[in-house]
Chain A
Amino acid sequence: MSQKVLLNAKAINIILHRLACQLIENHNDFSNTVLIGLQPRGKFLANRLAEMLTTEYKIKNIKLGHLDITFYRDDFRRGEKILEANTTDIDFIVEDKNIVFIDDVLYTGRSIRAALTAIQSFGRPNEIELLTLIDRRFSRHLPIQPNYRGRQVDAINEEKVKVNWVENEGEDAVYLVNS
């Protein structure tokens, strides 16, 4: 197994600042916007962006939630592994809100499809956007594209993109893993 560094901590930090600024450009003071990190891996990026918007860009009252999509996935009983659920934590109303889904890697688009269904359980949002740190081009199974992307990556199917976060793995880095 070999792995190649796609992004180091410094590059990730620059990208996070750019993504934060792009969000501000479209959502101003975030008064009608909520950020939703997709469980399990999207929550790290969502937490990081929410913190950056609050502390460095002085935006008050950022609403942040985490959405688990396990029960909405389309591969129940189809794989060897049993699907493990995570915590959903949305303590606000999404009715008529502008939602930004946040996930670390966009690959087939199936998780996002599940998230689009899952969020309907909480109401009818005004609009939903998608932000991903890594966009794996040419590997989509569904017509889904991000509104904000950190970096586009061309990876073949056997390759895996691994995103590490200080909070979880002890470092900020993105690797292309060849198994």
Chain B
Amino acid sequence: MSELSVNHLLGIKYLNKKDIQLIFETADHFKEVINRPIKKVPSLRDITIANLFFENSTRTKLSFELAEKRLSADVINFSASQSSVKKGETLIDTVNNILSMKVDMVVMRHPNPGAGVFLSKHVNASIINAGDGAHEHPTQALLDSYSIRERLGDVKGKNVVIVGDILHSRVALSNIYALQLQGANVMVCGPKTLLPKYIKELGVKVETNLRKALNWCDVANMLRVQNERMDISYFPSTREYTQQYGVNKALLNSLDKEIIIMHPGPINRGVEITSDVADSDQAIILDQVQNGVAVRMAVIYLLASKIKH
């Protein structure tokens, strides 16, 4: 039997192709479980998981919490706004205090890139990165690939374009790693100011014309403009951004083929994507959310099975 090659999920960068395959096969079983009348299995009844969110989140936090509860783990939640972090406690101290209450696994979102890697070197628990700054968001990339696999049968050989604010996006980087690992062709598309300077080094195509990008792709993953991370102005106005990089129904209908639209959320309706596109059959945005629970159950289950009794 295969097992994950890692003890933590810090980023897609640390995974191999087999790991992703194993996570998806396990997620298939959990997807069946969460569609039963009783959606819960007792596997992790002796595991305690702490969800540490040093940055705001709704979807990811709820999804992780639901995944943990469906596996029967005990869950404790923590968000930085209500904690001693404000009183000057360091990250290691905060986490070690929590771990001394006999916690086996930590799911962490943090504004600083590399926070998960740092923590994994200093504390004795299995760490899952739920987003570290503009670095990685591995479970989002996994559920995105899982949703593509579910809709198109396979990720290999597919053309996927990631559109929008690539510069501030952890979803973009994790998706690039995950898609390339599975043999997909990846393109990024956005205004030049929102594309990182050396993005080509990752082996992705770069395109600034949205129509050309959409004509090339099978799947378009639309990202939100992360205004909260912007210290300077990267484009003249939201209206101009929408004209250049927003997807609407007319644009989609004018393409040669029907492409799939994805969005990691939260959606800014009318900015990167119009409502008629977001609610159309081409969009698999809500499938992504449902698959998120199954994929996170798989990740937690597989990591927990490596914690020695």
Give the interface of A toward B (CB within 8 A).
Answer: 68, 70-73, 76-78, 81-88, 117-118, 120-123
Contact = CB atoms under 8 A, between A and B. Distances in A.
Interface string B23-41: 0001001001100111111
Nearest to A74: B42
B43 A82 contact: no
A72 B38 contact: no
Contacts of A78: 309
Contacts of B37: 121-123
Contact of B29 (A73, A88, A117, A123): A88
A89 to B, nearest CB: 8
Contacts of A118: 41
Given A72-B41, A121-B40, A82 B305 contact: yes
Contacts of B43: 71-73, 76
B307 interface: yes
Contacts of A84: 1
Contacts of B307: 77
Interface in B1-33: 1-3, 26, 29, 32-33
A82 B1 contact: yes
Nearest to A83: B305
A49 to B, nearest CB: 24
B217 to A, nearest CB: 33
Contact of B305 (A72, A76, A88, A121): A76
Contacts of B2: 82
Contacts of B305: 76-77, 82-83
Interface residues of B, number: 26
Most-contacted residue by chain A among B2, B42, B302 (CB, 10 A): B42
Nearest to B3: A82
B1 A81 contact: yes
A71 B308 contact: no
Contacts of B36: 121-122
A68 B43 CA distance: 13
Nearest to B301: A71
B304 interface: yes
Given A70-B29, A120-B38, 12 more contacts: A71-B29, A71-B41, A72-B41, A76-B44, A77-B304, A83-B1, A87-B29, A87-B32, A121-B33, A121-B37, A121-B38, A121-B40
Interface string B276-309: 0000000000000000000000000110111111
A122 B171 CA distance: 37
A117 B42 contact: yes
B277 to A, nearest CB: 34
A72 B304 contact: no
Nearest to B32: A88
A164 to B, nearest CB: 21
Contacts of B301: 71
Contacts of B46: 77
B308 to A, nearest CB: 7
A120 B38 CA distance: 8
A96 B83 CA distance: 50
Contacts of A81: 1
Interface string B49-76: 0000000000000000000000100000
15 contacts: A70-B29, A71-B71, A72-B41, A72-B43, A77-B46, A77-B304, A77-B305, A81-B1, A82-B3, A83-B1, A85-B29, A86-B29, A121-B36, A121-B37, A122-B38
A77 B73 CA distance: 14
A78 to B, nearest CB: 5
A117 B41 CA distance: 9
A120 B40 CA distance: 10
Chain A to chain B: the 8 pairs with minimum beta-carbon distance, closest first: A71-B41, A121-B38, A85-B29, A71-B43, A77-B309, A82-B3, A84-B1, A121-B36
B265 to A, nearest CB: 28
Contacts of A71: 29, 33, 41-43, 71, 301
A73 B306 CA distance: 16
Nearest to A89: B32
B40 A72 contact: no
A78 B306 CA distance: 10
